[in-house]
Structure 1
C-alpha cells in the first residue's frame, strides 16, 4: 500500500543572516504643504512675470518704440499673455503707452523708474562683473568635461544675471572672464549658429584649485573641517516626517559627502552616497542663481551634463527640509530653503543683482496699485516719491542746522 504523502529529505537551514534583508532605500514622499512665507517674497511669487519684464526693459528705451518692434519676440520672451502689448499694459509703472503717429498703433517707452533701474543693472554688472561671471565658471566646473553646450549655457544666463547677449556681443569680450566658445571637436569657433558649439574654459580648470562648495564652506565655518558635511535642514510648518524617515535622515547626514566639483565615476549610482551627491549638486546649483530658485522644468537640460540621474527631480520630493516646491500659475519652482530661512547663519553669498531684481518686483507691485486706482477712480500716490521727499526734507533740515 502506497503512503498518502512522501516525506522529503530534510535540508539544512541557511544561516540567519541570509534571511535578514537590509533595506537602504526608504520611500520618502512629500505631502505638499503650502508655506505662505515664500508667497510673501516678491521675487519668488512674481518670478513668472519677472523674466519677460526685465527682458522687455532691456529691449525698449526711454523714447517711444512701436510695439511691432518687440511683438514678434513673444515666444522667446515667454510672456504669459498671448500678445506682448497686453503684457506691457499690465505694468504701467514700468512701461508708458502712447499712440503712434500712424494708424493708432500703440507705442511704448520705459518709465523713468524703469530707466533708472536699467542703468543701475548695467552699473552693477560693470562693478561686480568678476563676482557674477565667477558663478558661470563654477557651473562649468561642475560638469565632468568642464564645458556645456552653448544653448544650455545661454539658458542659464538669466538665472546668473548675465546679459542675454553676453556670448554674442563682442563688447563683452568673454575671453577676459576666462571663457571661450568651441566646436565639439575642441577648436575655437567665432561665428555661426549655436548648433555644434560649446562653452568652455580657457584654462580648462587646471591652473587653479577647484572651489569649495557652499556646504563645504558651511562645514568649515561650523566645525573647522570637512570630515562630516551635513546638509542644513529647515522644517516647514505643519510638515511632519514619519519615524522611519527621521531615522534614515539621521544616517543620511553622516554619509560621506562628494563635492559637485569632484570626480564621481567610482560611486554606485544606486547608493545613498550617490543620492547625497545629487542633493549636493542641486544645492550648489541653486545657490549660484540670483533668487536661489528656478523653474523645475528648466533644470532638466542640465541633467546629463552634471551627471544627474534620469529622475533626479524626485530628490526635491525626498528632501522637503532642503527644497520647497512653489506652485504658481501652472508652474513649479524649486526654492532652496537655506537662502530664505537661515537668516545670516549661512555660507550662501547674496547675488549682487538680487537688490536690483527686488526693485523690479517693486515696480510690478506698484503697477497693480496703479491699475486698482484707475478702476476705482482714485489718484495714485507713488511710494518712491514719498521716500524721496522725506529724504530731501531730511537733507534740507540737516543743511539748515549746519548753516545755523
Structure 2
C-alpha cells in the first residue's frame, strides 16, 4: 500500500507552473519551523502505522541571494534598453507607464531617482520631463556593440548544441524566444542572426509551427560542459584514456561519469546515502547528444542521461539558470521526465531550486562560487560594467579583482 506523506515545503515554487496536473493535489502544506529548510511532498511506503521521517529540502542562502541581487541590475538594464530604443535616445516620463505598466512604473521611477550617475532627468516649464543616460553612462553603453560582436560566435555554437540535444535536431522558434534572454540572444535574432548562417540553420514549418532546424551535425560540438570540466581536472590523460580516480566522502568523484556535487550546509548524508550516490556516480550512461528515443525510460542509465541533458541545457545559458517553466517548455524536444520537479529535487547536489523572485528558478550549482557566477560571457561582463555605475564594490567572478559592481 502506498500512502501520501507530507514533506515540508516552505514558500516553494508552484508545482503547477511545471505540470498541467499536480499529483499532490489536495495535500496541504505545513509551515516549516526551520528557516533553513523546506518540506517537500513525496510518496513513501507505509511502515505499519509508524510515522515516516520527514524529508527536508535545504536552502542555499547564497543562491537565494543571487535572485535578490539581480533585481535592481535588471531594472537598470531594462531602462537603459528602453531609452536607447527611442529615436532621440530619451524617454518622456509620461510615456514610462506605456512601456512598463502602471505598477512597474514606480519601481523604475525609484531607480531613476536613486542613480543620478546613470540616469539624468531633464525638462522644464515649457517641455515635459524626460529621462536620458548621463554622459558617462552613454560612453559605457557604446561598448555594448563590441560585446554583442564577441557574443555572436558563442551564440551560434550554443544554438547548434541546443538543436543537437533535441530528438529531431529542431526546436520551435517560440521555445527559443522563450529562453532568448537567458541565452543572450538579441531580440531580433530571427532576422539578424539566423539568416547569416545558412550552413548551420534553417527555418521550417512543422505541424503548423516555425522551427529552427539544424543543417549540419558537428561531432566536435557533441561534448558536454561536464566532460570539458573533467578533462580540465585531469580525469582523462592527454591520449583521452581514463586515469585512476579518487573517491571522497562528500559525494564528489573524479570518475569519467561523475557529476560535481555541492550539498547545502545543513545537509548531512549518511553512509547508506553516500554508498548509493557512489554507485550512481560510477554508473556509465549514454551521451545527452545521442537521440533519446534509443533508450528505455525505465533504464537507470537513461535516467542518469536525463540529468546530463538538464545539466547541459543549463550550461548553455549565460547565467547557468532557467525558470522551472522554461525547462519544462522543452519537455517534448528532449523527452524530459513527466515529474521534472521531483527529478531536480532528487539531484539537489547538482541543481538548486529557489522560489525567490516572481518565478521559481533552477540553478546549476557548480557554476557558482557562493553567490558569484564563476565565468562570465562578454555580454555579462558588459552588463556588470554598466551597472557598476551604481557604486558598490564586489569581487568580479572572472578576475578575482575588486571592481565597482552591484548595488548598495
TM-score by length of 2: 0.67
Cα deviation, residue 119, structure 1: 2.3
In the alignment, does 2:59 pair up with 1:34? Answer: yes
Cα distance in 2 between the residues matched to 1:107 and 1:90 = 14
Cα distance in 1 between the residues matched to 2:260 and 2:53 = 18
Residues 97, 105 of structure 2: 8 Å contact kept? yes
Cα deviation, residue 209, structure 1: 4.4
Cα distance in 2 between the residues matched to 1:85 and 1:251 = 54
Partner of 2:264: 236
Cα deviation, residue 322, structure 1: 0.9
The structure with the larger Rg is: 1
In the alignment, does 2:204 pair up with 1:198? Answer: no
| Bigger proportion of residues as strand | 2
Q: Runs of 5+ in structure 1 lacking a partner?
A: 1-26, 76-80, 186-194, 367-382, 385-404
Cα distance in 1 between the residues matched to 2:159 and 2:387 = 24
Residues 285, 301 of structure 2: 8 Å contact kept? yes
Partner of 1:120: 143
In the alignment, does 2:183 pair up with 1:157? Answer: no
Change (3 A) 1:246 1:286: same
Partner of 1:371: none
What does 1:243-322 correspond to in 2, within 5 Å? 243-322=271-350
In the alignment, does 2:202 pair up with 1:180? Answer: yes
Cα deviation, residue 358, structure 1: 2.6
Residues 228, 257 of structure 1: 8 Å contact kept? no
Cα deviation, residue 110, structure 1: 2.4
Aligned counterpart for 2:110 among listed residues 89, 93, 117? 89
Cα deviation, residue 364, structure 1: 5.8
**Matched position secondary structure for 2:292:** coil
Residues 93, 131 of structure 2: 8 Å contact kept? yes
Partner of 2:231: 220
Cα distance in 2 between the residues matched to 1:252 and 1:232 = 13
**Matched position secondary structure for 1:167:** helix
Cα distance in 2 between the residues matched to 1:30 and 1:287 = 28
Cα deviation, residue 230, structure 1: 0.7
Change (3 A) 1:232 1:330: same
Cα deviation, residue 326, structure 1: 2.9
Cα distance in 2 between the residues matched to 1:285 and 1:88 = 36
Change (3 A) 1:65 1:213: same
Residues 166, 174 of structure 1: 8 Å contact kept? no
Change (3 A) 1:174 1:215: same
1:12-33 superposed Cα distances (whole Å, 9 cap, x missing partner): xxxxxxxxxxxxxxx9996233
Partner of 1:65: 91
In the alignment, does 2:354 pair up with 1:354? Answer: no
**Matched position secondary structure for 2:103:** coil
Cα distance in 2 between the residues matched to 1:309 and 1:338 = 22
How many residues were matched structurally? Answer: 319
1:66-99 superposed Cα distances (whole Å, 9 cap, x missing partner): 2465643437xxxxx7243542432535433344
Q: Runs of 5+ in structure 2 lacking a partner?
A: 1-51, 243-254, 393-402
Change (3 A) 1:362 1:38: farther
Residues 151, 378 of structure 2: 8 Å contact kept? yes
Change (3 A) 1:288 1:327: same
Partner of 2:249: none
